[in-house]
Structure 1
């Protein structure tokens, strides 16, 4: 019998964290983070990381597991997530993966090799902006550090190829992984997707960015900037990369905040597209007036025969 895993996915700001906690309480579960940015320590406000109060309600795993200067790939996540799934199951609890990084979640759930995985447009955009700010030589040196074999085959001035190779290296798709035989599910899964009217979601995103600013996002980003982390993978996340440009004098603060909101809205749109095409998701309306927790609970219990 396959191990049972519940999954909660959807765009940023749609309400995944709260639902995950509710489900874990109702189903005797423990939560595994499925967000690429939340694995990093010291990136708290900008990643909408679970609060200490929320974490006290239910055990959360794969949060704050690496320092912000360390690389972390989808292959790393795959290994660690599967270890947590097994450990939680062994404790007699239900593993519940909650997050919006589809590539990480899919890699954990499927017998998934890395050569056939989709591209990461957000990371590519961040690398392109990095090259514009600091010069393509910085990217090439980063590639030399992460994947010297790939770097040997690319001229330093071929920025597009350098960015593509870095994209692969940072997401775990480089380094000579074996070809995929096609993704095969390793677990018995019930995948819940949260969605809502786009206008409502975009309004929530705008409000949440304002709340992050009020909670101290600027100082959090400045602390990371002062540590010399501008070239690190962790701070290419939305919210940090825009504020780093403000600290560099490229943007005014209002421009940076406006850009955070715009980039987050675009990211949410890309997330929805990805999940609709890449995973077998059953969608539920997450609008406050429409969300029906009992229906979601019944779906998971029925799908996993709990």
Structure 2
């Protein structure tokens, strides 16, 4: 399956054109379903979304503020085509680097993508760490979204001390993959770090180091780089804290009743043990609850709703379309 990196262009048609009646229609028809995968940076949202999309006929809509932009793939930690396992992605690397892509822009683009995905009888999975994007989509536009769709929220959570240790290691791996060189290639001495993809953590922090070039003593230059990398780690950890606070706020204020998946133990392991823990503690319970959400005909299609408990039920046959999606 060819990877799709472009937003859908298909327009959404109104249900009814005269006032009031379109809202009534929502109460008499089955709502289309949408799954959200949320969590702080580094918790495995993309991995979980892709894993789910290989088990159900689904496509993924990116809701990460920085990954929506073109360029800086290492800095923004975009999934590679290999990591996507053939699962189509939308709103991933489609916006020009200097553009100002707002939460309203996301809502408009994501709404079109959702309708396009549903038109192919597939499940939209929205994955990313931007709570402001998700809030604009679900609670914006006079709650029209809640009238049209039945939503299920998966929240991948990791203990902050454990997550911060992992994030620090991940920054080191990103540097090894070429993070510094990638930022150098996009460096502009007149750049505005308050707009577009240059807001991404990893770009402003390297400004002083790049500006110094080779004019300074090698040791001083090396210390500037070390300080920049440490600052990237610090700012990434601070971001994870803010994201977690926003998720709690959304859950408390908007009463979305998110289904929390604790992945802490996964991040304490390495290699095959970590993969086994992921399957047992994250993938299996997530798959079971999403399956129940999708196939349980007796659930009340209202929003918000309490996430279903994990129960021992016979396996539900996976639709034929899934087999094609996993090849």
TM normalised by structure 1 equals: 0.73
Question: Equivalent residue for 1:9?
Answer: 38
Task: For residue 57 of structure 1, give the secondary structure of its aligned residue in structure 2.
Answer: coil
Change (3 A) 1:278 1:53: same
1:185 maps onto 2:185 in alignment: no
Change (3 A) 1:227 1:93: farther
Instruction: Tell me, in whole angstroms, the C-alpha distance in 2 between the residues paired with 1:81 and 1:182.
Output: 15
Residue number among 268, 277, 286 corresponding to 2:240 in the alignment: 268
The structural deviation recorded for 1:66 is 1.1
Question: Equivalent residue for 2:284?
Answer: 294
Instruction: Tell me, in whole angstroms, the C-alpha distance in 1 between the residues paired with 2:138 and 2:165.
Output: 32
1:190·1:304 contact (CA, 8 Å) conserved in 2? no
CA deviation vs aligned residue, 1:24-78 (integer Å, no higher than 9, x gap): 1111110000101011111200111010212342001101111101221111111
Question: Equivalent residue for 2:201?
Answer: 238
1:72 maps onto 2:33 in alignment: no
2:75·2:174 contact (CA, 8 Å) conserved in 1? yes
1:257 maps onto 2:205 in alignment: no
Instruction: Tell me, in whole angstroms, the C-alpha distance in 1 between the residues paired with 2:190 and 2:92.
Output: 23
Task: For residue 78 of structure 1, give the secondary structure of its aligned residue in structure 2.
Answer: helix
Instruction: Tell me, in whole angstroms, the C-alpha distance in 2 between the residues paired with 1:266 and 1:203.
Output: 13
Question: Equivalent residue for 2:210?
Answer: 247
List gaps (5 residues or longer) in structure 1: 114-180
List gaps (5 residues or longer) in structure 2: 1-29, 213-220, 267-276, 297-327
Instruction: Tell me, in whole angstroms, the C-alpha distance in 2 between the residues paired with 1:216 and 1:272.
Output: 28
Question: Equivalent residue for 1:221?
Answer: 183
Instruction: Tell me, in whole angstroms, the C-alpha distance in 1 between the residues paired with 2:177 and 2:198.
Output: 18
Question: Equivalent residue for 1:90?
Answer: 119
Change (3 A) 1:221 1:189: same
Task: For residue 151 of structure 2, give the secondary structure of its aligned residue in structure 1.
Answer: strand
2:137·2:145 contact (CA, 8 Å) conserved in 1? no
Instruction: Tell me, in whole angstroms, the C-alpha distance in 2 between the residues paired with 1:81 and 1:238.
Output: 24
CA deviation vs aligned residue, 1:208-259 (integer Å, no higher than 9, x gap): 1001100111111111114853443321121112112432449811111001
Q: Which runs of 4+ in 1 moved over 6 A?
A: none
Instruction: Tell me, in whole angstroms, the C-alpha distance in 2 between the residues paired with 1:39 and 1:245.
Output: 26
Aligned positions, number: 238
1:40·1:234 contact (CA, 8 Å) conserved in 2? yes
CA RMSD of aligned residues (A): 2.1
